[in-house]
């Protein structure tokens, strides 16, 4: 029955080695789905075909080891396959039609990692100004002869779909030469979200995928994790609260906690809690902390560098205003300012803000005295909202702990 159950896994997850661009956290997610499917099929077969007493302990142990073993095999084998491809083996020869912004973006992705196993052998475009593009072989009327004379596996068409006649011609060339044809939509210049294709009768429709946390099961999983962890942290909080509270009170007069209105889910404001790290001042809601900020106390400087000052935000997590992982909440004034300066700034608010985030573990923490720094934060935050999965959260939490132990360079 084990082998029969694995047949279902092989059928639904057979592309795990075929797909060339898959990240490790996605592989881990696929492992969970594959093992769960195997367990469901196995339990169903056991229920209908066997009258023996079921050993749940052995069942749990087997699937625990199976999950670890299958995950290790898939990740290691993909690493070995990428290594093999980076040596120039098992590659696909491709041509790119259209060297405009979308074509250049595609070329950058395919060339960005040799382990993907793509070898670009030709780029074609009628715009002679793009002839300096690497791999440029000529105008579109040269495509057919080139594909005929060279072993090409795939053709990527990156020209505007307004030129339907030219696209149809290129598709015919690909079909006559047994080349796989892919059309890259031109809105990729402006929209970077993932899309999924479905049809309404015989009309193809592209749907912008909602962020993963818009799915109830994902939102429930994240909220359950947040609630359990924040509850544990609050129970253990006296171990930190008492010594930190004494140190703060001795460092300067004022309250133990610093409370500030920040922007949360869907742009709604909430009260965010932190340990007070500065002397009481009138600029706390308008001016960011800097490296040698005279408002900071010595105790506060230590709390910031070790991220201990953020621990009271687990109360916000417990109340459901924040998540453990998510875009860091900004002051209301920052939200008002940057929403007018940075494209897609408000997209970071489609999910709950977090105690830590993807931007922070990638080095974008601290003051945003230059616009590009906030732009990079937003870029990472938006990427996180569109690519969330549970294992990504675990990765961010681990990196946050490691960074806190090392000491954050930009934690002012």
Confidence (pLDDT) at 317: 96
What backbone phi and psi angles, to 5 degrees, belong to 194? -75, 150
Percent of the chain with pLDDT over 70: 83
Task: Tell which residue, 66, 61, 76, has the closest CA to residue 34.
Answer: 66
Instruction: Look at the pTM and tell me if it is higher than 0.75.
Output: no
pLDDT above 80: residue 205? no
Decide: helix, strand or coil at residue 18. coil
Give pLDDT, residue 191.
56
Distance CA 149, CA 169 (A): 18
180 touches 120 (CB < 8 A)? no
**What is the CB-side half-sphere exposure of residue 202 using CA atoms within 13 A?**
0
Most confident of 6-20, 23-37, 177-191, 296-310: 296-310
Could you tell me the sign of the dihedral formed by the alpha carbons of 246, 251, 253, 257, in that order? negative
For residue 359, pLDDT over 60 is answered with yes
Kindly write down the DSSP assignment for every residue of 155-223, as one continuous string: EEE-S-TT-HHHHHHHHHHHHHTT-EEEE--GGGGT--S-EEEEEETTEEEEEEPPPGGGSHHHHHHHH
In angstroms, the Cα distances linking 146 to 65, 122, 211, 297 are 51, 8, 41, 69
Instruction: Yes or no: say if 299 and 293 are a contact pair by the CB < 8 Å rule.
Output: no
Judged against a pLDDT cut of 60, whether residue 209 lies above it is answered with no
The torsion angle over the Cα atoms of residues 85, 91, 97 and 100, rounded to 10 degrees, is 0
Distances (CA, A) of 24 to 141, 145, 395: 41, 40, 11
pLDDT value of position 106: 86
DSSP character string of 84-116? HHHTT-S-EEEEEE--SHHHHHHHHHHHH-GGG
**Model confidence pLDDT, tens digit, residues 232-260:** 999 999 999 999 999 999 988 999 999 99
pLDDT for the residue numbered 371: 87
- How high is the pLDDT of residue 230? 95
Average pLDDT over residues 346-355: 91
Question: Can you tell me whether residue 226 is helix, strand or coil?
Answer: helix
The average pLDDT across 198-202 equals 63
Per the structure block, which two tokens stand in for 280?
Answer: 């009481």
Tens digit of pLDDT for each residue in 22-66?
A: 566 667 777 888 888 878 877 777 767 665 666 777 778 888 888
Average per-residue pLDDT for the chain = 83
Contact criterion met (CB below 8 Å) for 154 and 126: no
pLDDT at 201: 60
């Amino acid at each position: 029955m084990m082998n029969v159950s694995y047949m279902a896994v092989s059928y639904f997850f057979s592309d795990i080695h075929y797909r060339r661009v898959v990240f490790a956290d996605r592989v881990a997610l696929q492992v969970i789905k594959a093992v769960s499917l195997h367990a469901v099929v196995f339990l169903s077969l056991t229920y209908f075909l066997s009258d023996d007493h079921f050993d749940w302990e052995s069942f749990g142990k087997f699937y625990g080891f199976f999950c670890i073993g299958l995950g290790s095999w898939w990740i290691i084998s993909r690493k070995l396959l990428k290594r093999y491809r980076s040596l120039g083996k098992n590659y696909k020869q491709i041509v790119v039609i259209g060297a405009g912004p979308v074509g250049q973006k595609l070329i950058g992705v395919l060339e960005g990692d040799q382990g993907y196993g793509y070898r670009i052998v030709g780029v074609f475009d009628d715009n002679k100004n793009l002839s300096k593009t690497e791999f440029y072989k000529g105008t579109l009327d040269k495509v057919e002869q080139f594909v005929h004379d060279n072993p090409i596996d795939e053709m990527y068409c990156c020209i505007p779909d307004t030129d339907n006649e030219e696209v149809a011609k290129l598709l015919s060339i690909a079909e006559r030469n047994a080349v796989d044809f892919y059309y890259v939509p031109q809105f990729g210049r402006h929209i970077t979200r993932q899309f999924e294709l479905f049809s309404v009768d015989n009309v193809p429709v592209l749907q912008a995928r909602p962020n993963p946390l818009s799915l109830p099961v994902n939102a429930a999983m994240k909220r359950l994790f947040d609630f359990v962890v924040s509850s544990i942290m609050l129970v253990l909080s006296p171990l930190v609260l008492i010594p930190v509270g004494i140190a703060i009170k001795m460092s300067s007069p004022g309250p133990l906690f610093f409370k500030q209105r920040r922007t949360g889910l869907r742009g709604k404001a909430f009260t965010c809690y932190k340990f007070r790290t500065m002397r009481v001042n009138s600029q706390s809601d308008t001016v960011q902390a800097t490296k040698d900020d005279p408002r900071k106390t010595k105790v506060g400087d230590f709390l910031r560098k070790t991220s201990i000052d953020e621990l009271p935000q687990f109360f916000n997590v417990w109340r459901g205003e924040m998540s453990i992982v998510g875009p860091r909440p900004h002051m209301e004034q920052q939200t008002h300012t940057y929403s007018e300066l940075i494209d897609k700034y408000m997209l970071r608010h489609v999910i709950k803000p977090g105690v830590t985030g993807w931007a922070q573990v990638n080095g974008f923490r601290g003051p945003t005295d230059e616009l590009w720094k906030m732009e990079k934060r937003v870029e990472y935050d938006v990427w996180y909202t569109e690519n969330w999965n549970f294992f990504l959260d675990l990765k961010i939490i681990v990196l946050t702990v490691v960074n806190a132990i090392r000491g954050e360079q930009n934690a002012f």
